[in-house]
């Protein structure tokens, strides 16, 4: 059944939010670099994915899940294949560049969306269950 999880509580910590913040930070860094081009595909993918995750999925499960997965995929694919990001390298010297951060943020978003939509154990969820959740359980 699609989606696998009906996602009734979006206030819980989901890593789609962390990925969105990382991707939007990368977008903000390069937003005004060129006069006539902006990373609109990445920004729109992030904003629409988070909107669908928070406002559509809890009430319209199939539509919200589909829009979230597709939009997060768009946000992840744009830094890899999009025309805007081709002018940016993956790194600046030995530091990760904004293109890499945008791609990583998009991937983290896709990871969470796919985990909830299809019920697959994704790498992000594996880290959550193996590391983060046990630590939080000990603390709280």
Question: For residue range 68-120, what is the model confidence (pLDDT) as tens digits?
Answer: 999 999 999 999 999 999 989 999 889 999 999 999 999 999 999 999 999 89
The two counts, helices (H) then strands (E), for the chain are 6, 2
Give yes or no for a contact between 98 and 29, defined as CB atoms under 8 angstroms apart: yes
Q: How far is the C-alpha of 42 from the C-alpha of 78, rounded, in Å?
A: 6
What is the pLDDT confidence band of residue 34, given thresholds at 50, 70 and 90? confident
Outline where DSSP puts E strands in 14-115: 91-92, 95-96
The residue behind tokens 């559509």 is: 56
What is the pLDDT confidence band of residue 9, given thresholds at 50, 70 and 90? confident
Half-sphere exposure of 110 (CA within 13 A, CB side): 17
Give the pLDDT of residue 81. Answer: 94
Residue 5 confidence (pLDDT) above 80: no
Is this prediction's pTM over 0.85?
Answer: yes
What is the pLDDT confidence band of residue 1, given thresholds at 50, 70 and 90? low
Who wins on pLDDT, 19 or 33? Answer: 19
DSSP 95: E
Short-list 14, 16, 136, CA closest to 75: 16
Q: pLDDT (tens digit, 9 = 90+) per residue, 42-73?
A: 999 999 999 999 999 999 999 999 999 999 99
How many Cβ atoms from other residues are within 10 Å of residue 25's Cβ? 13
Give yes or no for a contact between 73 and 107, defined as CB atoms under 8 angstroms apart: no
């Amino acid at each position: 059944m699609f989606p696998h999880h009906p996602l009734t509580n979006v206030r819980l910590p989901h890593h789609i939010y962390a990925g969105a913040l990382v991707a939007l930070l990368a977008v903000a860094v390069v937003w005004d670099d060129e006069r006539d081009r902006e990373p609109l595909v990445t920004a729109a993918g992030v904003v629409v994915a988070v909107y669908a995750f928070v406002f559509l999925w809890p009430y319209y499960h199939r539509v919200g899940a589909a829009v979230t997965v597709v939009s997060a995929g768009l946000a992840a694919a744009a830094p890899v294949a999009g025309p805007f990001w081709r002018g940016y390298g993956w790194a600046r010297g030995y530091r990760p560049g904004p293109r890499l951060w945008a791609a990583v943020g998009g991937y983290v978003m896709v990871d969470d969306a796919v985990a909830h939509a299809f019920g697959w154990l994704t790498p992000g969820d594996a880290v959550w269950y193996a590391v983060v959740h046990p630590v939080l359980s000990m603390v709280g």
